[in-house]
A and B are shown apart, each in its own frame.
Chain A
Amino acid sequence: MDKEQLQDSVIRNAVNAVFEEEVRLLDGSADDPREEIRLTDDQVADLCKRILLLREDIRSLFFSKYCFHLDREAMIALLDAERPDGRLRCYENFLSYAMLSDDTKRISADSFERACHAALQRDIPVEEPVTTTQKKRKKRQKRILSKVWKSVAAVFIVISAGFLLAFTTNAEFRGKVINWYLTTFRQNSVVQPETDDAVTMEHLREYRPSYMPERYRLVETLEAERWIVYGYQDDEAKMLDITLQIPGVISSIDTQGLEMKTLLFHDEIAYLVTGGEGYGTFVFSVDGIPVLIDGYASPEEMLQIAEGIGN
């Protein structure tokens, strides 16, 4: 380590010591007598942006106080925060000075509250479904119907090769578990199944669907490098796909205006998307293989189809 780095380290320690000293002083201090300033809407939006730029543990303290109204003890217990009041006061003073440029004034509690609510909305993942109009739903269904089988496959974005390990026997393979990583956006949800276990295309080929509602007939089987799609169609040209994939492949599911439920399927996490006038998606795993059923089927039918995969 050169001289400058050493000096930098000494300065860092000194800055941290002075900061912790300030936190200690503010932690037990009385109410702040400075004049409170209520911010305008634009200023609140600006404060929200600045709060979002703070370190995550500091943001957590702001949210705890202004969005969840938790007290000091709760913050210590739930966030393992040391001197949370002092730390918060320190950053409140900091932001007040940064925005008001006046040491005798401070941002009002209600302004912090408004800014924190806005920041929390942007900071915490949104999971609730977004409702859309009937018209949009119909348009969406039309779009789905007009899809050709190959375009269905386009929603599977191959992110990583992953897990291309040696073939293991089916007996060894049974009982493997999958971790799902789900991120919900306004129009769609992205699911990423991952496992530490080896899954190969040979495994996928062994898990064909054995049950299908009578109205459906198999019209196409598509096989790519990391997934297999079984495409079914009924007499009204309604479609249903069953996709088996190698973990690591990310799938995008259309969830706009639909309801997504998390449930347990054979003791593993699964997701059921319903509400699309007969159209839905069921995402689950069978013996460590991620499977997506996507199309026109009731939740009961989807569960029956799921039960039949690999049997």
Chain B
Amino acid sequence: MLLTFPLTDDDRSFVEELFKEHRALFLNVARQILDSFAEAEDAVSEAMIRIITNLDKISALPRHKIRSYCIVIVRNCALARFRKAGEIPTEMSIAVNDSLIQPEEAFLEQEQAKELQDIIRALSREERMLLQLRYVDDANYKEIADILGITEETARKRTERILRKLRELLKKDRHNG
């Protein structure tokens, strides 16, 4: 794989040295995220391709920092594979893509989504942060509490309060629709 890229001799030996020296470590990092060797190896290969194709950026780093940054790249590749493998279509996308859904219903759902987004935009910064941690970052209440510097109980109560508010709105819209 390494030889298929048009590299200078110096670049090639740099990449080979990097790979030989840290292959086990890279695999170990990827394996901590992924279930199988094959997946971990694929993630490391993907990371190596990224490194090779962006060698100018990597080799510009101080020597002692290269290994650390390569680990960051390997972990990122492994994580992307992990997320991709576990990707489950959301209920909303199923609903929108479902051919059985009536056009009026799809329109109502889109309107409802827009309204919901408006309400989220109007929330306080702290409330939006709670939702972001919960739904964008998939953090649990303990993690939310530690990141925001509040107690777990407070994080849970505040999040539930916002969600109750949003669910009420959805319920109301359904009845109206």
Residues of A within 8 A of B (CB): 1, 4-19, 21, 46, 49-50, 53-58, 60, 63-64, 67-68, 70, 73-74, 77-80, 94-95, 97-99, 103, 120, 124-125, 127, 179-183, 194, 196, 262, 264, 269, 271
Given A11-B116, A15-B134, A120-B68, 10 more pairs with CB closer than 8 A: A9-B91, A12-B135, A14-B120, A18-B121, A49-B146, A53-B147, A68-B69, A95-B147, A99-B149, A127-B67
Contact residues on B (Cβ < 8 Å of other chain), bracket: 35 or more
Residues of B within 8 A of A (CB): 20-25, 27-29, 31, 37, 50-51, 53-54, 57-58, 61, 65, 67-69, 71-73, 75-77, 79-80, 90-93, 109, 112-113, 116-117, 120-121, 125-126, 128-129, 131-132, 134-139, 143, 146-149, 163, 166-167, 170-171
- Does A5 lie within 8 Å of B91, measured CB to CB? yes
Residues of A within 8 A of B79 (CB): 56-57
* CB within 8 Å for A18 and B68 given contacts A5-B91, A127-B25, A182-B24: no
B136 contact from A19, A60, A80, A181, Cβ within 8 A = A19
- Does A94 lie within 8 Å of B37, measured CB to CB? no
- Does B23 lie within 8 Å of A269, measured CB to CB? yes
- Does B72 lie within 8 Å of A97, measured CB to CB? no
18 contacts between A and B (CB under 8 A): A1-B91, A11-B170, A13-B93, A14-B116, A15-B120, A15-B135, A18-B128, A60-B76, A63-B69, A77-B57, A124-B71, A125-B71, A127-B67, A179-B27, A181-B27, A181-B31, A194-B37, A196-B37
* CB within 8 Å for A10 and B65 given contacts A56-B76, A98-B129, A181-B28: no
- Does B24 lie within 8 Å of A63, measured CB to CB? no
Give complex CA distance A10, B134 in Å: 14
Interface pairs A-B: 4 shortest CB-CB: A9-B91, A15-B135, A14-B116, A74-B57
- Does B113 lie within 8 Å of A17, measured CB to CB? yes
A13 contact from B21, B54, B71, B92, Cβ within 8 A = B92
Main secondary structure of the interface of B (DSSP, over half): helix
Give complex CA distance A219, B131 in Å: 66
Give complex CA distance A199, B117 in Å: 58
Least CB distance from B121 to A in Å reads 6
A10 contact from B27, B37, B69, B91, Cβ within 8 A = B91
Main secondary structure of the interface of A (DSSP, over half): helix
Residues of A within 8 A of B148 (CB): 98
Residues of B within 8 A of A7 (CB): 166-167, 170-171
Give complex CA distance A311, B83 in Å: 46
Residues of B within 8 A of A74 (CB): 54, 57
Residues of A within 8 A of B120 (CB): 14-15, 18
A78 contact from B58, B65, B68, B80, Cβ within 8 A = B58
